[in-house]
A and B are shown apart, each in its own frame.
Chain A
Amino acid sequence: GAGVSQSPSNKVTEKGKDVELRCDPISGHTALYWYRQSLGQGLEFLIYFQGNSAPDKSGLPSDRFSAERTGGSVSTLTIQRTQQEDSAVYLCASSLYSGNSNQPQHFGDGTRLSIL
């Protein structure tokens, strides 16, 4: 596609429910990143995928958070037993990866998650 696509745009759910956020990267981009943007914490790195594997999950805040990527394309970020502090905008980015050359990340519009 032309850009990184995220769905849903907005998600409102009750505390304790599970949510799934989807990211469709730019075609051909092998690197995929998830970030979280919240009022208190700014923009934080969550996880990075290269192909289907996740070499760096260091930003996931707790074991309630998980992510997977299939077919080297679409990625899903899952939050289990949501808490109010999970309310934030979840941003996905993708980039070309070529050895030591780090290409700029291109971001989607984000999913605004609100936990009631």
Chain B
Amino acid sequence: AQKVTQAQTEISVVEKEDVTLDCVYETRDTTYYLFWYKQPPSGELVFLIRRNSFDEQNEISGRYSWNFQKSTSSFNFTITASQVVDSAVYFCALSHMNTGFQKLVFGTGTRLLVSP
């Protein structure tokens, strides 16, 4: 069975602080995808990144960076110099790679509050 754990329920930071959101996953698959989605107060889930299990290279996109470590089954997300607009709930998710479609298994989400 697949499982995603986001142990941090809520994180509060002050603008310009760096913040890391943790994600730990469990799967018996040898090939799989990992995702991060952002859900702002408006409610729409916004796709941020997809990473396949073959590629452990870290990725940076502007103020966002992701650290994938297969050895610890973790896929952590760091926001550098946080801004108020980063306030949202962030979901980590996992899917099979081989079934031809993505059935996403989500973590319970981490609510990030960035205050001015």
Are B42 and A102 interface neighbours, CB within 8 A? no
Shortest distance in angstroms between A56's beta carbon and chain B's nearest beta carbon? 6
Which of these, A42, A95, A99, contacts B106 with CB under 8 Å?
Answer: A42
The CA-CA distance from A23 to B35 in the complex, in Å, is 23
Q: A91-B45, A109-B44 are in contact. Are A104 and B100 (CB under 8 A)?
A: no
- Count of inter-chain pairs, beta carbons less than 8 A: 62
Are B101 and A31 interface neighbours, CB within 8 A? yes
Answer whether residue B13 sits at the interface, using C-beta atoms and an 8 A cutoff: no
The CA-CA distance from A97 to B103 in the complex, in Å, is 13
The CA-CA distance from A44 to B2 in the complex, in Å, is 13
Q: Find chain B residues with CB under 8 A from A91 CB.
A: 45
A-binding segment of B19-27, B59-67, B71-79, B90-98 = B90-98
Are B102 and A105 interface neighbours, CB within 8 A? yes
Q: Find chain A residues with CB under 8 A from B102 CB.
A: 31, 33, 95, 102, 104-105
Q: Find chain A residues with CB under 8 A from B100 CB.
A: 50, 97, 99-100, 102
21 pairs, A vs B, C-beta closer than 8 Å: A35-B104, A42-B108, A43-B91, A44-B106, A45-B103, A45-B104, A45-B105, A89-B43, A91-B45, A93-B45, A100-B100, A102-B33, A102-B95, A102-B97, A102-B101, A102-B102, A104-B50, A105-B102, A107-B37, A109-B42, A109-B43
